[in-house]
């Protein structure tokens, strides 16, 4: 059987001094005998969901996001449309916002000299709208 003394790590002189100082300070603290009553802000019983709501808070979520996460499409499609709604799809406009140097920030798909943004790609680009008419 291994002795517990073998498992202890040696303490440095500085740490030992700090420990002694802390113990002296704790001896000077006067504890009162008053009773503390712990209460939850939402009632008498603990509930992890109530605690989560209290800590995180409640935010009003647009109905589009609720519909998106409850719909029965594949998760990769949900993530794609979530990125689309949050304007986080990799477009040339986002590269411009991140100060990435490109020769042009215009849409490469259509012949118009329009900057490639999400709204243009999925709503106004005639080349994509002729292929995917469901965007209109």
Alpha helices in 29-90 (DSSP H): 48-56, 63-70, 75-85
Q: State how many domains the chain has.
A: 2
**pLDDT tens per residue across span 33-64:** 666 677 777 777 888 888 888 888 777 878 88
According to the model, what pLDDT value does residue 133 have? 43
Residue 18 covered by a domain? no
Q: How far is CA 134 from CA 16, 24, 131, in A?
A: 72, 75, 9
According to the model, what pLDDT value does residue 47 have? 83
- Closest alpha carbon to 55 in 42, 43, 44, 36: 42
Q: How many CB atoms lie under 10 A from the CB of residue 112?
A: 13
Same domain, 95 and 135: yes
Range of the domain at 67: 61-87
Residue 53 covered by a domain? no
The average pLDDT across 78-84 equals 90
Same domain, 73 and 105: no
Residue 111 covered by a domain? yes
Residue 32 covered by a domain? no
Q: How far is CA 87 from CA 90, 118, 122, in A?
A: 9, 7, 12
Residue 47 covered by a domain? no
Residue 133 covered by a domain? yes
Same domain, 78 and 118: no
For the whole prediction, is pTM greater than 0.75? no
């Amino acid at each position: 059987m291994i002795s517990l003394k073998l498992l202890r790590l040696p303490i440095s002189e500085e740490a030992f001094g700090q420990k002694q100082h802390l113990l002296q300070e704790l001896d000077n603290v006067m504890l009162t005998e008053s009773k503390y009553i712990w209460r939850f802000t939402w009632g008498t019983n603990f509930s992890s969901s109530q605690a989560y709501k209290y800590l995180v808070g409640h935010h009003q979520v647009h109905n589009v996001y609720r519909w998106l996460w409850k719909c029965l499409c594949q998760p990769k499609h949900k993530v794609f449309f979530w990125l689309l709604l949050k304007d986080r799809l990799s477009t040339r406009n986002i590269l411009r916002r991140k100060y990435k140097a490109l020769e042009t920030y215009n849409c490469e798909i259509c012949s118009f000299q329009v900057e490639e943004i999400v709204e243009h790609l999925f709503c106004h680009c005639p080349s994509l709208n002729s292929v995917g008419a469901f965007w209109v």
